[in-house]
Structure 1
Amino acid sequence: MRQSLCKNFIQYFCCIKNGDCQQRLDGIVLDLKIAAGTGGQAASLGDAAYREMKERLIRGKYRPGYKMTVRAVAEDLGVSSTPARDAINRLTSEGALVYAGPKTVIVPVLGEQDLKELTTIRIALEGLASEKAAPFGSEQHVELLDEIQGRINAALDAGNYGEALWHNKEFHFHVYEMAGLPHLVAMIESLWLRVGPSLYNLYPEFAQERYGVRNHQMAMEALAERDGAALRAAFENDIRDGYRLLRLAARRSARA
Structure 2
Amino acid sequence: MTIGLAPVETQPLHEVVYERLRHALMSGQLAPGRKLTSRKLAKELGTSDMPVRSALMRLQALRALEQLPNGSMVLPAMTKARFDDLMTTRLVCEPAAARQAVEQLDRGGLLKLRQVAVALTAAAEDQDIDAYLYHNHDFKFAIYAACGSPSLLFLIETLWLQVGPFLRQFSGQFDNDLRGILELDYHDEIVKCLEDRDSEGVVELLTRDIRDGHAFLMENGQFE
TM range (shorter): 0.7 to 0.9
Tell me whether 1:233 sits opposite 2:204 in the alignment.
yes
User: What is residue 60 of structure 2 aligned with on the other side?
Assistant: 92
* Partner of residue 223 from structure 1, selected from 186, 194, 197: 194
User: What is residue 164 of structure 1 aligned with on the other side?
Assistant: 132
Tell me whether 1:193 sits opposite 2:161 in the alignment.
yes
Superimposed CA distance per residue, residues 64-113 of structure 1 (whole angstroms, 9 cap, x where no aligned partner): 11112121111111111111111111111211111123232111111111
Q: In 2, Cα distance between the equivalents of 1:197 and 1:157?
A: 21
Pick closer, same or farther for the CA change 1:139–1:45 going to 2, 3 Å: closer
Q: How far is 1:238 from its partner?
A: 0.9
* Partner of residue 117 from structure 1, selected from 78, 85, 95: 85
Q: In 2, Cα distance between the equivalents of 1:118 and 1:166?
A: 19
User: What is residue 216 of structure 2 aligned with on the other side?
Assistant: 245
User: What is residue 211 of structure 1 aligned with on the other side?
Assistant: 183
Please list, as runs of the form range in 1=range in 2, the aligned pairs for 1:18-167 lying within 5 A after superposition.
Answer: 44-167=12-135
Query: What secondary structure does 2:133 align onto?
Result: helix
Query: What secondary structure does 2:29 align onto?
Result: coil
TM-score (norm 2): 0.88
Q: In 2, Cα distance between the equivalents of 1:242 and 1:147?
A: 22
* Residue identity opposite 2:27 in structure 1: R
Pick closer, same or farther for the CA change 1:222–1:50 going to 2, 3 Å: same
Pick closer, same or farther for the CA change 1:137–1:87 going to 2, 3 Å: closer
Q: How far is 1:191 from its partner?
A: 0.7
- Structure 2 residue runs of 5 or longer lacking an equivalent are 1-5
Q: In 2, Cα distance between the equivalents of 1:154 and 1:208?
A: 9
Q: How far is 1:237 from its partner?
A: 0.8
Identity across the alignment (%) = 27
CA contact (8 A) 2:27 2:134 kept: yes
Q: How far is 1:212 from its partner?
A: 4.4
| Worse-matched range after superposition: 49-58 or 197-206 | 197-206
* Residue identity opposite 2:191 in structure 1: M
Equivalences, count: 215
Considering Cα pairs closer than 8 Å and 6+ residues apart, tell me whether 1 or 2 has the greater RCO. Answer: 2
TM-score (norm 1): 0.78
Cα RMSD, aligned residues only: 2.0
Query: What secondary structure does 2:56 align onto?
Result: helix
| Worse-matched range after superposition: 118-127 or 180-189 | 180-189
User: What is residue 29 of structure 1 aligned with on the other side?
Assistant: none
Superimposed CA distance per residue, residues 220-243 of structure 1 (whole angstroms, 9 cap, x where no aligned partner): 121122111110011111111111
Q: In 2, Cα distance between the equivalents of 1:212 and 1:165?
A: 13
Superimposed CA distance per residue, residues 136-164 of structure 1 (whole angstroms, 9 cap, x where no aligned partner): 35544332211011111222221111111
Q: In 1, Cα distance between the equivalents of 2:68 and 2:82?
A: 19
Q: How far is 1:135 from its partner?
A: 2.5
CA contact (8 A) 1:136 1:226 kept: no
User: What is residue 178 of structure 1 aligned with on the other side?
Assistant: 146
Q: How far is 1:193 from its partner?
A: 0.7
Query: What secondary structure does 1:171 align onto?
Result: helix
